[in-house]
Structure 1
């Protein structure tokens, strides 16, 4: 039984913890060097800290990236597998979407890439297909 208490913080994870959380959840790997460059450039970021027996560990995170006006992307929303099922992903996404609703211009475009079916619709996200389709390229895997 998990006896952790959780606290949501408006701050990004360390680059090292960013990589660890993504790896633990089976997300595409990012290097610590890339995270050192990218994470501080987040438009907005939150972490979830678990407190247990006096220890505090970042067990979840989420970020918003973008230009601060016309386009934003929710990204890196992850909860360590040992702490999933506690509603932490919902809490993280609530914080990100609330921040955008309070601060983003009315005409802002907000997107995300989701591997979780039926989760993000709760906040009003809709599939873009067939009107448009997402595409990507991963550098270093040509």
Structure 2
């Protein structure tokens, strides 16, 4: 894998917004203020850059200030999926959360992502609830 993983590395808001749009099929061209959000709310995050310095993957980790951390926004460029980048991002994020003193790493996912999170990344299922607020 020719990818450099960086914990709490600099994030280009436009590049991360474009990556999200490509990976999640969003037509939105709006730029999200990722740097501000990450700095203000995140325990840590991990970026994946190709040799040319292009952002090809990202994962965000938020925490409760104690034992629990939560993965958010795991994303890999559609052209690079299936190459182990997502698995490497999650493993690096888990290590970083552990380094921050967390004992548990939580993740929510859609049914079609179960093989990735359960089989490739080693998560196990638990009962959970979800309430849509908007």
TM-score normalised by structure 1 residue count: 0.73
Q: Looking at CA atoms only, which structure, 1 or 2, has the larger radius of gyration?
A: 1
SS in 1 for 2:21: helix
Task: Give the count of matched residue pairs.
Answer: 128
Two-structure CA RMSD over aligned residues (Å): 2.7
- Residue 113 of structure 1 is matched in structure 2 by 108
CA shift at 1:78, angstroms?
0.8
SS in 2 for 1:76: strand
Output one character per residue of 1:16-46: Cα deviation in whole Å (capped at 9) or x when no partner.
2222121111167795345343122321111
Between Structure 1 and Structure 2, the one with more strand by share is 1
CA shift at 1:124, angstroms?
4.4
CA shift at 1:73, angstroms?
0.8
SS in 2 for 1:5: coil
Structure 1, unmatched stretches of 5+, are none
Structure 2, unmatched stretches of 5+, are none
Between Structure 1 and Structure 2, the one with more helix by share is 2
Instruction: Determine if contact 1:12/1:63 at 8 Å carries over to the other structure.
Output: no
Alignment of 1:128 with 2:126, yes or no, is yes
Q: 5 Å matches for 1:1-142?
A: 5-10=2-7, 11=9, 13-26=11-24, 32-41=31-40, 42-51=42-51, 55-106=52-103, 109-115=104-110, 116-122=113-119, 123-129=121-127, 133-137=128-132, 142=134
Output one character per residue of 1:83-115: Cα deviation in whole Å (capped at 9) or x when no partner.
112110011011011222333244xx4311113
